[in-house]
């Protein structure tokens, strides 16, 4: 089956309905936006755009796909023939990956024939949501680490191999310095990181033998895991022995890694022991179930740590693993649409929109308005084709770090106002549904 079948069944049944009722080719605009920042994240960073555009460009159903759909005995006659010829021909406006984005601001705006715009909902939400979740968490970690590198170690706990790869990409985009995941490193040019696990230490008769074997194999790249038996009485002293042996042969020990216990106390003890042994250039790296709160604590306590390895909490977005992304119809055939909800904050914004960033905060307005500030949505696809090659990920990362550095110190600017014209349109449409604004 092709990846074009990656959609909820109801997207296909709705397409069939639009087709049958003559609405499939109506021009529709959909917004993909999020409703609130994930718990534990203050500033959301948009991500996942490039994989999404790639998927859209390749959209098209194979013969196997169509045979499978036919086997469901569900769709009206003629629909699957029509579906077989379908390609994505729409236009996409989007926030560049790495842009800080506020709730209710479109991350993506899709204008396409209604049936196409509907079809792509599931995949777009899926791809933007997970990447944005991880990029935002990474950005938060980088902020609390205040310059100490964050290394992403989450492959084993991510949700599937592809989840791991996507997550590693997003973590780097959000500001991580490296990944443990080799396939992500290779595919996206992320620096790879890693040396040895407890299994290495246990595979040798004793810790010192294991350390020496590693140093012998990687004299230029040795970082030693010191907590397998007893960090202070065994691990660090053995690492110091190997550090001196490496120095005697013209090399140097790069670092030690603490993976358990009281990382604040242990990092201080290890730092002092290394310094007293003349190994003050040996780094102290820590890992072991770290998350934003734990990294913040260690940094605020001034623990002498040179790098944080963060895995599970980052790639599973453990604190809030579901991004509040939604994809809503905003306009059809030039007619603005909105979804009214019992909860006023869930009522959507009608019309084809743009977001302007200003020193006083963001403004959500209608795309044809001429407002002050920097427009955040850029056109990235026309007629179903990308308008530019995929940007270099390392450059995107650098831009993300810049944009976040600009905005993060100014929470007073993290506000979204609606333009008077958008407000008026919203009020008018709510009135036709018998709702007063805010009711």
- Rule CB under 8 A: which of 222-241 touch a second copy? 228-229
Stretch that binds a second copy, among 142-150, 216-224, 295-303, 409-417 (CB under 8 A): 216-224
Stretch that binds a second copy, among 104-112, 183-191, 242-250, 394-402 (CB under 8 A): 183-191
- How many positions of this chain bind a second copy (CB under 8 A)? 99
Give the angle 188-58-173 at the CA atoms, nearest 5°.
25
CA distances, 216 to each of 221, 246, 252 (Å): 10, 9, 12
Secondary structure (3-state) at 45: strand
Which residues are 429's β-sheet partners? none
Q: Is 68 in the site for a second copy (CB under 8 A)?
A: yes
Cβ 157 to a second copy shortest distance, Å: 5
Chosen residue from 111, 193, 347, 396 binding a second copy by CB under 8 A = 193
Cβ 3 to a second copy shortest distance, Å: 7
What DSSP letter does each residue of 241-284 carry, written as one string?
HHHHHHHHTT----EEEE-SS-HHHHHHHHHHHHHHTT-TTSEE
Instruction: Please answer whether residues 316 and 289 qualify as being in contact, where contact means their C-beta atoms are separated by less than 8 angstroms.
Output: no
Site for a second copy in 151-170 (CB under 8 A): 153, 155-167
Cβ 256 to a second copy shortest distance, Å: 14
Cβ 438 to a second copy shortest distance, Å: 17
Site for a second copy in 113-152 (CB under 8 A): 114, 118, 121-123, 125-127, 129-130
The contact mask relative to a second copy for 297-316 (x = CB under 8 A, - = no) is: ---------------xx--x
Of 202 and 431, nearer to a second copy (C-beta) is: 202
Alpha-carbon distance 134 to 152, whole Å? 11
Of 213 and 401, nearer to a second copy (C-beta) is: 213
Tokens found for residue 96? 């560049």
Chosen residue from 1, 293, 398, 405 binding a second copy by CB under 8 A = 1
CA distances, 170 to each of 155, 295, 300 (Å): 13, 19, 26
Of 23 and 413, nearer to a second copy (C-beta) is: 23
Q: What is the 3-state secondary structure (H, E, C) of 200-245?
A: HHHCCCCHHHHHHHHHHHCCCCCEEECCCCCHHHHHHHHHHHHHHH
Cβ 363 to a second copy shortest distance, Å: 25
Alpha-carbon distance 403 to 160, whole Å? 31
Site for a second copy in 371-400 (CB under 8 A): none
Of 89 and 234, nearer to a second copy (C-beta) is: 234
Site for a second copy in 270-289 (CB under 8 A): none
């Amino acid at each position: 089956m092709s990846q074009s079948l990656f959609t909820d069944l109801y997207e296909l049944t709705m397409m069939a309905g639009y087709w049958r009722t003559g609405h499939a080719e109506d021009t529709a605009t959909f917004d993909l936006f999020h409703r609130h920042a994930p718990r534990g994240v203050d500033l959301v960073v948009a991500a996942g755009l490039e994989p999404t555009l790639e998927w859209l460009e390749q959209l098209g159903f194979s013969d196997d796909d169509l045979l499978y759909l036919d086997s469901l005995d569900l769709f009206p006659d003629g629909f699957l023939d029509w579906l077989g010829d379908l390609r994505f021909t729409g236009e996409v406006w989007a926030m560049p990956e790495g842009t800080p984005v506020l709730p209710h601001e479109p991350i993506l705006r899709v204008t396409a024939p209604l049936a196409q715009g509907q079809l792509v909902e599931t995949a777009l939400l899926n791809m933007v949501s997970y990447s944005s979740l991880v990029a935002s968490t990474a950005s938060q970690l980088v902020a609390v680490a205040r310059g100490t590198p964050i290394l992403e170690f989450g492959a084993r706990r991510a949700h599937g191999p592809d989840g791991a790869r996507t997550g590693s990409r997003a973590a780097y985009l959000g500001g991580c310095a490296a990944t443990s995941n080799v396939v992500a490193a290779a595919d996206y040019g992320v620096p790879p990181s890693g040396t040895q696990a407890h299994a290495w230490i246990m595979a040798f008769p004793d810790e010192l033998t294991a350390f020496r074997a590693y140093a012998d194999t990687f004299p230029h790249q040795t970082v030693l895991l010191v907590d397998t038996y007893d960090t202070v009485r065994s691990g660090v002293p053995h690492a110091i022995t190997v550090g001196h042996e490496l120095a005697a042969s013209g090399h140097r020990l790069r670092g030690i890694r603490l993976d358990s216990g009281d990382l604040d106390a242990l990092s201080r003890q290890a730092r002092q022991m290394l310094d007293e042994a003349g190994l003050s250039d040996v780094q102290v790296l820590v890992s072991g179930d770290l998350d934003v709160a734990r990294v913040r604590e260690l940094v605020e306590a001034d623990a002498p740590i040179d790098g944080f390895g963060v895995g599970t909490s980052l790639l599973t977005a453990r604190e809030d693993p579901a991004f509040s992304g939604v994809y809503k119809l905003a306009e059809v055939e030039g007619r603005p649409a909105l979804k009214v909800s019992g909860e006023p904050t869930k009522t959507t914004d009608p019309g084809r929109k743009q977001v302007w960033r200003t020193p006083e905060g963001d403004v959500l307005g209608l795309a044809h308005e001429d407002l002050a500030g920097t427009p955040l949505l850029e056109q990235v696809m026309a007629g179903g084709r990308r308008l530019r090659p995929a940007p270099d990920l390392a450059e995107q990362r650098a831009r993300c770090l810049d944009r976040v550095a600009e905005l993060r110190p100014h929470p007073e600017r993290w506000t979204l106002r609606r333009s008077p014209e958008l407000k008026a349109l919203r009020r008018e449409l709510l009135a036709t549904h018998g709702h007063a604004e805010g009711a």
